[in-house]
Structure 1
Amino acid sequence: MNTNQYEKKLEQLGAFEIASKMLKVAKNNENHNSFLNAGRGNPNWINTQARLAFTRFMAFGVKESERTMLEGNLAGYTTLDGISGRLNDFLDLSQKEDAFIQTFIDYGVDVLDIDRDALVKEFTDAIIGNNYPVPSRCLVNIEKIINVYLQDTLYNGVSLADSTQVFPTEGGTAAICYIFNSLKKNGLIQEGDRIAINMPIFTPYLQIPKLTNYKMVEVDLEAREDNDWEIPLGALDILEDESIKAFFLVNPSNPASRALDSKLLKRIKEICEKRRDLIIITDDVYGTFVDGFQTVYAVAPYNTLLVYSYSKLYGATGWRTGCIAMNKQNVFDDLIARLPEEKLKVLDKDYSIVTMEPRSFPFIERLTADSRSIGLYHTSGLSTPQQAMMALFSLTHLVCHDGDNYIESTKEIVAKRYHNLFEGLGIKEDNTRENAKYYALIDIYNLAERLYGENLATYIRKNFEEIDFLLNLAKEEGLVIMEGVGFAATPGTLRVSQANLADDAYPKIAKRIIELLKEYDDKMKTSLEEGH
């Protein structure tokens, strides 16, 4: 197989799969450069406070279990009565993590009005993992904590915590899979339906509708480089068309790291007031990297299902901690109620094994049940240690009285790396508030034209597959980045992650990109001299 054939075959894979293929090539690069993988969005920082508190609670949970039974490595069970007092006796408040535990327990009691013993018992049992999640969807007090966190970080002043229900999931990717599955099962999205997507977008949103059992028709909302990757205000008008059943977006976007501004949010709100049947799914994992961020859920809670993940902010991709949040009054339940009687009877039969009143079984519980094929609903729900970790991450933010320096520090990290990359490339930075700077999209054609002239940009377009530049970056320069086309971005764009490499790697990335462009320029000149 020649190089051109290999590249065409490679382009059939998804963006993440292509990047994976590049890893081995880059590690054995021809120039013996240090290996740099700027393809994945996995951050190279972690939150320490939540993790240390988790280990201390684990130690307390083991000690608490030993009170009721102890034989070698076998301990017993925890008891509610007086458990908060025993935790106080266990804690050493001179230790930072112990002081944090006491602070957040007080916060839960004084601010969230949770019973002290009940809160300590729930965290203790959750962290030692000694029981199934009860209720299946989310532990009661942990749901309250997650709700307040989502409101404080994503809603920008809108109070929705009390009217929102949460379903913790194995990261945001599991949430996406569960949502698509339940939407189809419950007849809310059917084969051939038209859905609007804010492309470029995280690849699963492109790949899932194309699977055989969906066959949905996508409507691109036209976010493009010449508009700073922002959806044009007028493009949202298409959402007024009743043939558009759903609108899926990542906000801030991936790969462009662009958040919706206030004008776009206002327009979406206006449309939803007219279209009470419009389904919106918003994935807001990067929201905390934008100052004053506001989710679509805050302006259109009835229509919107919110997906959030703790993975990027708290350096927790391995923990698989995410959630689905939706309002108690929502379009999903109302659309199900209006389904044809024939379809409702089929759903009644399916869900009747877990509820005596299937017609009033809410969509968020259907998501939970569907995630375990309904029959295993009684053992569904995210593992309790993962739920507890989500709550601990949330609490590290909620109990900060003088502003969350942790969140501000993560913003500063990606902003510095973004600056280093763009300064190295000589490209003007986008310092508008809406730019999360977690990723950057680089247009190689534009960069080639600016550095070496229009002829080089034309030469690259005509003579090389789009993936050729990526392959050569890996093979010659030891650098792995992702192609933008895999996210439905403009041809010739590359996605660079500002999350997973040291600060000083980004000038090197810029240098290697420029050096490879110089090599293409030399090839072009040689070709012209030879008369090709």
Structure 2
Amino acid sequence: MDKTFFNGLGAFETSFSMIKLAENNEKENIFLNAGRGNPNWINTQARLAFNRLIEFGIKDSKRTIDMAEMAGYTTKKGIAQRFEAFLEPDEDETDNFLMLMLDYLRFDLEYAADDVIKELVDGAIGNNYPEPSRVLPYTELIINKYLESTLYDGEKLSEKTKVFPTEGGTAAIVYIFNSLKRNHLIQPGDKIAINTPIFTPYLQIPELSEFDLVEVYIDSDPSDKWNIRVDQLDKLADPDIKAFFIVNPSNPASTAFSDEALAAVKKAVESNPDLMIITDDVYGTFVEDFRSIYAVLPYNTLLVYSYSKLFGATGWRLGLIAVNDINVFDKRISELPQDMLQRLRNRYKIVTGDPSDLPFIERLVADSRSVGLYHTAGLSTPQQIMEALFSLSHLVHRYDIDPYFLATVELIDQRYQDLHKALKFPGDDSRENAKYYSLINIYELAEKKFGKDFRRYFSTSFPHNDFLKNLAEKNGVVLMDGSGFGSREGNLRISQANLPTEDYYLIGKQIIGLMKDYYEEYQEKMASK
């Protein structure tokens, strides 16, 4: 196959193309795809609780209509009492969790039991449009408590934050770029800063013709365990930079912002107070005592989160956007020129009687359905309830360690350690490393195994993705090209999430084995000279 076969393709598209090569690999090895971040575990507790909500909801709906396969609707008065009577916590682990959930909602959050159970049950059944369009009321309160517990490191922001659940983090990203443009917060030719390496859409979307943004890269340092370079953050002080996009912990480097980096961003914002920050914190729960930039700069920051990785729910499409009640996005809209404000009033006038006061987060909701369908916008209610249940499965452990969180961290750590043991390549056990992915530089590996002369030959004699292609075609292993995420050529991204634990040592051995093949070819060429 032509070695330029993958040139021009995105990192994920290249990975998809290599799957067929790997499935029919020359050595007839077992096919191992460590290219995707889809976890191979699921959270069982919230899913079983969801089923029980539906089961109860159907039973309770039959109180109003019960004909053939048709039931009616639930009634709010006394629904919490009926729900408790339905549960058997002494007999069933799921019912015990639901009782703990009820206690938490009643006594810790002081919510009216009938109101919240009515929302959870009807939402799971899915028999009504989302109302309000943006998010169900108690679902928003629960999600906010979860975000505060997992991402804010002690900062109390749950009562000052608005949430918009979305169809996964991917929809959140698309909605944000679209609404920033629609509301003239970013315009063609504007400068935006991007912390690299980063999830590929954050690099690709700004380059599309409809955005045509100028990208300023804030580089993480591979020689310092992929920590963001604090001196690079000085660039953010430039008022010409309108927005800063980050994934924290990063994808693919899996490194969270250090306290020093967070302080540097805060200092830069003092010189550029209208800077808009978009932080994608999907991997935050894999870092102990994680602190989101939203906790440091809530006024400037739009938060993206997804339940997909932690809870094994990529197919559910469960993401969200969160923003502070008082924020720079609303301020910047209010300061737009009058002609732009008039166009925006005309755009949103069917949504509200006073479009000038429509918050940015509500504009995100409206724009997600081309404004005209705002009244039927919003994430499906079953998806919203699943977000609430995943949140509650953690929140009920307010007095002790969440065993599920601990299990996920231990699982990916074991895989990370096995991979690096096989490679005999230094790992990173610092607090900031989420370990969800590894970035392995094959040029550094070549030098470590076979010396500087071989590294020089290896790095200059082959296209940077040659090793990646041969790993699939010959050995049956699919990894991802780290340069597609904005890292230097020669970095391979390995997901510690999506394969059985025993396969990671094998992947390390396959990488070393292929490197030996290149070295043997090098020795033959040197001998023939």
Task: Report the secondary structure of 2:279's partner residue.
Answer: strand
Q: CA RMSD in A?
A: 1.0
Task: Report the secondary structure of 2:192's partner residue.
Answer: strand
Other-structure match for 2:316: 319
- Among residues 18, 37, 40, which one is paired with 1:22 in the alignment? 18
1:134 aligns with 2:125: no
- 1:358 to partner: Cα distance: 0.2
1:484–1:490 Cα contact (<8 Å) kept: yes
1:262 aligns with 2:259: yes
Counterpart mapping for 1:385-424 below 5 A? 385-400=382-397, 401-424=399-422
Other-structure match for 2:328: 331
d(CA) in 2 for partners of 1:321, 1:455: 49
1:377 aligns with 2:374: yes
1:150 aligns with 2:112: no
Task: Report the secondary structure of 2:21's partner residue.
Answer: helix
Other-structure match for 1:359: 356
Amino acid at match of 1:388: I
- Among residues 45, 49, 56, which one is paired with 1:49 in the alignment? 45
d(CA) in 2 for partners of 1:268, 1:469: 37
Counterpart mapping for 1:296-307 below 5 A? 296-307=293-304
Other-structure match for 2:455: 457
- 1:272 to partner: Cα distance: 2.5
- 1:273 to partner: Cα distance: 3.6
- 1:522 to partner: Cα distance: 1.4
2:190–2:242 Cα contact (<8 Å) kept: yes
Other-structure match for 1:4: 3
After superposition, give the CA deviation of every residue in 1:193-212 in whole Å (9 maximum; x if it has no partner).
11111100000001100111
- 1:109 to partner: Cα distance: 1.6
Task: Report the secondary structure of 1:223's partner residue.
Answer: strand
1:193–1:245 Cα contact (<8 Å) kept: yes
Other-structure match for 1:432: 430
d(CA) in 2 for partners of 1:283, 1:82: 41
For structure 2, list consecutive stretches of 5 or more residues without a partner in the other structure. Answer: none
- Among residues 257, 269, 273, which one is paired with 1:272 in the alignment? 269
Counterpart mapping for 1:149-168 below 5 A? 149-168=146-165
- Among residues 282, 286, 290, which one is paired with 2:283 in the alignment? 286
Task: Report the secondary structure of 2:310's partner residue.
Answer: coil
Amino acid at match of 2:63: R
1:224–1:489 Cα contact (<8 Å) kept: no
TM-score when scaled to structure 1? 0.98
Other-structure match for 1:514: 512
1:224–1:490 Cα contact (<8 Å) kept: no
Other-structure match for 1:213: 210
- 1:502 to partner: Cα distance: 1.3
Task: Report the secondary structure of 2:227's partner residue.
Answer: coil
In the alignment of these two chains, the number of paired residues is: 527
Counterpart mapping for 1:162-241 below 5 A? 162-241=159-238
d(CA) in 2 for partners of 1:139, 1:494: 42
1:167–1:368 Cα contact (<8 Å) kept: yes
Other-structure match for 2:86: 90
Other-structure match for 1:479: 477
1:155–1:297 Cα contact (<8 Å) kept: yes
d(CA) in 2 for partners of 1:27, 1:17: 16
d(CA) in 2 for partners of 1:53, 1:97: 6
d(CA) in 2 for partners of 1:493, 1:101: 45
d(CA) in 2 for partners of 1:436, 1:4: 34
d(CA) in 2 for partners of 1:503, 1:4: 32
Amino acid at match of 1:152: S
TM-score when scaled to structure 2? 0.98
d(CA) in 2 for partners of 1:5, 1:305: 39
Amino acid at match of 2:362: E
Name whichever of 516-525 and 130-139 sits farther off. 516-525
Amino acid at match of 2:340: K
- 1:268 to partner: Cα distance: 1.6
2:238–2:271 Cα contact (<8 Å) kept: no
d(CA) in 2 for partners of 1:44, 1:286: 15
Name whichever of 322-331 and 522-531 sits farther off. 522-531
After superposition, give the CA deviation of every residue in 1:334-376 in whole Å (9 maximum; x if it has no partner).
0000000000100100100111000000000000000000000
d(CA) in 1 for partners of 2:206, 2:230: 25
State the identity %: 54
After superposition, give the CA deviation of every residue in 1:261-320 in whole Å (9 maximum; x if it has no partner).
111112222232443210000000000000110000000000000000000101111110
d(CA) in 2 for partners of 1:107, 1:29: 53
Amino acid at match of 2:524: T
For structure 1, list consecutive stretches of 5 or more residues without a partner in the other structure. Answer: none
